[in-house]
A and B are shown apart, each in its own frame.
Chain A
Amino acid sequence: MIGNIIKKEFKELFTIATLIPIIVIAVVFAFVGQSIGNIGETMEEKPVIGIVDRDDGDFSNIAMSVLTEKGEVIYDGSDAEEGLEEVRGGNGVALLVIPENFSRNIDGNQPGEIEIYWIMKGAGMMDSISSGVVEGLIWAVNQGISTKLIQQDSSSDPVLVLNPTTRVETTFFKGKKIEGLSASQLGNVLSSQSIVIPIVIMMLIIMSGSSVISSMGMEKENKTLETLLTMPVRRSHVVIGKMVGSALVGMIMAAIYMIGFSRYMSSFQISDINLADFGLTLGMQDYLLVGVSLFTALLAGLSLCIVLGTFAKDYRSAQTLIFPITALAMISVFITMFKDFDTIPAVLRILVFAIPFSHPMMAMRALVMDNYSLVIGGIAYTAVFTVIMVAVAVRIFNSDRLLTGRVQKRAARGKLLWGFRR
């Protein structure tokens, strides 16, 4: 008896319609993982660096020896400007400059200063791995100097032995020169933004999208759709009305969710770096652009949801149709969280750009770096995407599909805009 019920449930739930989205998403995730690369491999690779040694003393020699052994040195000269160009051109991570008085300072019980010029490529979590490896090199340099200090004189100042060097750091990122911050510090602050904001947007999209798809499912299940479609109201108004209503519900639900989530995230807040102190701040027009980007992405998501919702037979089937939206939002979140748009492979870049939800997720970080073309291009793309999706939805609303699941060929040949007028 129980076997009979299990068989019935399995047959009812395990359908081609439920299987295809899972397979597609599994393939996409596998592809994304393959394209982003392997963290372990990246950490094992020697970081590409440049070195300028102006000291040529005992301690700088220790530093040079460690850096040469553990890093891939593509510039070893005396001109910092030239070194920076070499490192940039060689896709390197940093240029380390050891000033003239490095060894003398340490001998005089003063920490030796190392100037580090970071070449930061992206602000995703995985983009900071290389700079993390260079941080490891500097730790190894300190270890080497500490060992030498203890061997020379066991009564050395313990504070100096533990911290024989200090750093003066400058980070170059997307044409900006940020003094006083390392690539890791900047990356951490920007990454923390790329966790909270994408998750807020993902929840907004999922909750609003779920509302609009469920609404379509309920219209069919409650047999109210036929009546609604005979009301003297344009199909485009029905579509837009459903989208806006669902957006409002989604925003309220996402806001409630985010109150809890922001409290949760604040417990992990460890950085007290204020980007505004380094000139990395957003103006009113930037916030306006972020808002417009979010609004257009939300509309794009909802217009896609309403098209998907037309396939819902009832409330239950509507729940499975939200899955592609969730998956697309998650792909956007993960890619933007781990990698910067500029550092991902071209194919992934196209995928990320094509998913409308990615744009508000990337907008804040892009605007901090004055990358207006990405944000404005994203807004234009999502606006066009929305118009196309609304047109498709209106066309479906004008066809037989909503009531019969079929589209009559003659109707499908009709002009797109004609559908808007009806």
Chain B
Amino acid sequence: MKAVEVRELVKNYGNFRALNGISFEVNEGEIFGLIGPNGAGKTTALRTIATLLQITSGSVTIFDYELPKEAGEVRKIISYLPEEAGAYKNLTGKAYLDFIARFFGDGEKSQDMIRRGLEIANLGERIDDKVDTYSKGMTRRLLVGRALMVNPRLAILDEPTSGLDVVNAQEVRRIINSSVEAGVAVLLSSHNMLEVELLCHRIALINDGEIVASGTAEELKKEYDAGNIEEAFVKAIR
């Protein structure tokens, strides 16, 4: 079963076409990266798959659930981390994890999720402080913990290391990798092409709402005779 199947997806904002018939698939246990410059359509694609935006035309299925008809079922098995996400500032980090966990289960199930969230966020004693007092890196770690603690079948991560320093970014990448080992499929976006090369099993290069190339990092580099993905991307959009 495919984790994600996107077919000829078109998304218009009024007269502006943000996605122009993109198609791709994400397999179970795979990290799939959408990479491209700002405004290429990465976030629109992820928001559409995360059930937040309506589909203009084309189709999206998540583990055989079709959008938008089965959006409710999809929300039970996905977890979405927006690029500029925040947490409720008046809650402590732990209370925030508790708030989210209650959407996915009660009792022991919820407590297990919180324990996993605390482990992933790894904020020590600061987890009992209000989110308002957190640095950007701490908030991002809390949010990554929130996104992965619920044991999603598909994690949709928009620029997961956005704004993080090298140490925090590396830690987040480690967490994502360990989640995949546990069976989670990951669809992520980034404009950091070197990071994607390190992290993703397969990559789609997106520009102006269209996928210009896709494959493994090695395949893309070979296809465009490039030393790295960044170089391959530049050659692909020329």
- A residues at B contact (CB < 8 Å): 222-224, 226-227, 229-234, 399-400, 403-404, 406, 408, 410-411, 421-422
Contacts and interface: CB of A to CB of B under 8 A. Distances in A.
B82 A399 contact: no
A392 B43 CA distance: 27
10 closest Cβ contacts across the A-B interface? Answer: A223-B86, A411-B54, A222-B86, A230-B80, A232-B75, A232-B76, A231-B103, A226-B82, A408-B54, A223-B84
Interface of B: 12-14, 47, 50-54, 56, 68, 71-72, 75-76, 78-82, 84-89, 100, 103-104, 143, 146
Contacts of A422: 68, 71-72
Q: Is the interface of A mostly helix, strand, loop or mixed?
A: loop
Contacts of A227: 80-82, 85, 100, 143, 146
A198 B80 CA distance: 45
Given A400-B13, A400-B53, 20 more contacts: A222-B86, A222-B89, A224-B85, A226-B80, A227-B80, A227-B81, A227-B85, A230-B78, A230-B80, A231-B75, A231-B103, A232-B104, A233-B75, A399-B54, A403-B53, A404-B13, A408-B54, A410-B56, A422-B68, A422-B72
B54 A226 contact: no
B88 A222 contact: yes
Q: Which of A226, A229, A422 has the most CB of B within 10 A?
A: A226
Nearest to B18: A404
A52 B213 CA distance: 101
B14 to A, nearest CB: 6
Contacts, number: 66
Given A231-B75, A406-B13, A223 B54 contact: no
25 contacts: A222-B89, A223-B85, A223-B86, A224-B88, A226-B47, A226-B50, A226-B85, A227-B81, A229-B51, A230-B52, A232-B75, A232-B76, A233-B103, A234-B72, A399-B54, A400-B13, A400-B53, A403-B52, A403-B53, A406-B14, A410-B56, A411-B54, A421-B72, A422-B68, A422-B71
Contacts of B71: 422
A356 B28 CA distance: 52
B100 A231 contact: yes
A222 B87 CA distance: 7
A95 B55 CA distance: 73
B72 A232 contact: yes
Contacts of B143: 227
Given A222-B88, A232-B72, A400 B80 contact: no
Contacts of A223: 82, 84-86
B208 to A, nearest CB: 19
Nearest to B48: A400
Given A400-B53, A406-B14, A408-B54, A230 B86 contact: no
Contact of B51 (A230, A406, A411): A230
A406 B16 CA distance: 12
A222 B104 CA distance: 22
B54 A410 contact: yes
Contacts of A410: 54, 56
Nearest to B51: A230
Nearest to B78: A230
Contacts of B146: 227
Contacts of B89: 222
Contacts of B84: 223
B63 to A, nearest CB: 14
Nearest to A404: B13
Nearest to A411: B54
A55 B52 CA distance: 85
B12 A408 contact: yes
Contacts of A400: 13, 53-54
A249 to B, nearest CB: 12
B57 to A, nearest CB: 9
Nearest to A405: B13
A226 B80 CA distance: 8
A399 B146 CA distance: 25
A406 B54 CA distance: 11
A234 B51 CA distance: 12
A273 B160 CA distance: 70
A224 B207 CA distance: 28
B87 A224 contact: yes
Contacts of A421: 72
A259 to B, nearest CB: 25
Nearest to B57: A410
Nearest to B147: A227
A421 B72 CA distance: 9
A346 to B, nearest CB: 42
A224 B84 CA distance: 9
B144 to A, nearest CB: 12
Contacts of B56: 408, 410
A226 B72 CA distance: 15
Contacts of B13: 400, 404, 406
A224 B52 CA distance: 13
Contacts of A408: 12, 54, 56
A401 to B, nearest CB: 10
A411 B54 CA distance: 7
